[in-house]
Amino acid sequence: MSEPVRFSDSITIRCQPEIAALVDRAARAKGSKPSEWARQALLAALRESGLDPATSPARDARTLHDSLNGPQR
């Protein structure tokens, strides 16, 4: 059996309670945790926007943010 993947970064989003409940429901329907469901949905949205993480060079969040929005320091 493979080792579990550990994630070191996190993103906090705010949404209506109804949205959180729908995420929980969708995750249960797929047999996954809400965090994994949200991670997969975020990856799908990034790919649809032309930003495929698999083909992007590894960069830290600040570098990526600056490349998209310009330096915000």
Which tens digits make up the pLDDT trace of 27-72?
Answer: 999 999 999 999 999 999 999 999 988 887 666 666 666 666 666 5
Residue 58 lies in a domain: yes
For the full predicted model, state whether its pTM sits above 0.85. Answer: no
Predicted pLDDT of residue 1: 61
Residue 10 lies in a domain: no
Residue 7 lies in a domain: no
Structure tokens at 36: 């994994």
Predicted pLDDT of residue 3: 75
Handedness of CA 46, 10, 31, 54 (dihedral sign): positive
Task: State the total domains in the chain.
Answer: 1
Average confidence (pLDDT) over 11-20: 94
Where would I find the beta strands (DSSP E) of the chain?
none
Structural domain that includes position 51: 17-69
Residue 1 lies in a domain: no
